[in-house]
Amino acid sequence: MGIQLSLLVTVVILLAGWVAGVLPFLKFIFGVILPYVALAVFAIGLIVRVLRWARSPVPFRITTTCGQEKSLPWIKQNKLDNPSSALGTLGRMALEVLFFRSLFRNTKASLKDDRLVYSVDKWLWFFSLAFHWSFLIIFLRHFRFFTEPIPFFVGFLQDIDGFFQVGLPIIYITDVAILVALTYLFLRRIFNAKVRIVSLPSDYFPLLLILGIAVTGVLMRYFLKTDLVAVKEFAVSILSFQPISNELLNKLSPLFMIHFTFVCTLLIYFPMSKLVHLGGIFMSPTRNLANNNRMKRHINPWNPVVAVHTYEEYEDEFREKMKAAGIPVEKEE
């Protein structure tokens, strides 16, 4: 059911983008109003989520670890897995964000001769990394549409990405990688029964949405050309709050309008979806804290004041009676 619903919503967005590309009056709504709504929802939504996380109290160090914490001198500390300093935490975080280090430990559980066995499984790590890096590089390459002059890194990325110089226009490695990786991630949710049973529409939909963006982008670059000069003028006008003429809007092809509508939908959906882990990873106390639990005593700041009755007080109260009953006391008076 989750897959069908996600597919249906994706097709509806695709059709909406296409209709907007064909009907001039809708082009204004989808080409001018929608991107501003999308940018505002994205920015405000992300800020609200980050502020909400920032407000959550974290009185203890709750790092998830796979190695020894700093303690006695003869126990070897695992400095990257279980850092006790800010620098170590930075290193751990960088490896997590850039290389998905914890996902590298992913294992697969299966039944062999009625016994549960765990085996190494690096595919999820590999395709996740391929997808995220490709997305980032594609996004950065798109700056050739968003800014004038074009930033220095765009040419550099284009050269590296088109390194193999296959075909014309040159095929980008990231275009192939993002399509293959997204297809793997989607099919994994369908054909792996254990993953399928825990998958929801909110798992399928982002994959389909990003697949929609990538497929329409690839179609535009390699098969159905679009007016790139018009696209650039359009994107720069939107980002610099300049008015956009109907003449310019009419130069935008229906395929571009589908690509663009998918992108705007992604921006709107982003803050309320699991994709917000983009910001969440940096705010996660299981990852961003140095683990110094054995070095330093952390006391919960909002512990209620508990009225205790110490032994000294108890003895003071009952000393005479204790002595009379022959019970030993610590203080005679």
Cβ burial of 265 (10 Å; 0-12, 13-18, 19+) is buried
266 scored as a contact of ligand HEM (CB under 6 A): yes
| Residue closer to ligand HEM, measured from CB, 92 or 141 | 141
Write down the least CB distance from residue 242 to ligand HEM, Å: 14
Contact predicate 140/153, CB 8 Å: yes
CB 252 within 8 A of CB 234: yes
From residue 70, alpha-carbon distances to 58, 78, 93, 155, 297 in Å are: 21, 8, 18, 46, 14
As a dihedral over the C-alpha atoms of residue 220, residue 221, residue 224, residue 227, rounded to 10 degrees, the angle is: 80
| Closer Cβ to ligand HEM, 182 or 290, answer by number | 182
Of 102-110, 197-205, 253-261, 297-305, the window that binds ligand HEM (rule: CB under 6 A) is 253-261
| Closest residue by beta carbon to ligand HEM | 217
| One residue of 49, 142, 189, 319 binding ligand HEM per CB under 6 A | 142
Among 141, 162, 181, 291, binds ligand HEM (CB under 6 A): 141
In the set 138, 209, 255, 290, which binds ligand HEM (CB under 6 A)? Answer: 138
Q: Rounded CA gap, 210 and 195, in Å?
A: 20
Helices (H), 23-75: 24-28, 34-55
Q: How far is the CB of 66 from ligand HEM (least distance, A)?
A: 33
Distance CA 155, CA 151 (A): 8
- In whole angstroms, the minimum distance from the beta carbon of 294 to ligand HEM comes to 44
**CA–CA separation, 69 vs 57, rounded Å?**
23
Residue 194-233 contact track with ligand HEM, rule CB under 6 A, x = bound:
-------------------xx--xx-xx----x-x--x--
Q: Which of residues 155-184 bind ligand HEM (CB under 6 A)?
A: 172, 175, 178
> Which of 261, 270, 255, 204 is closest to 8 using CA atoms?
204
Give the residues lining the site for ligand HEM (CB under 6 A): 135, 138-139, 141-142, 145, 172, 175, 178, 213-214, 217-218, 220-221, 226, 228, 231, 235, 256, 259-260, 263, 266
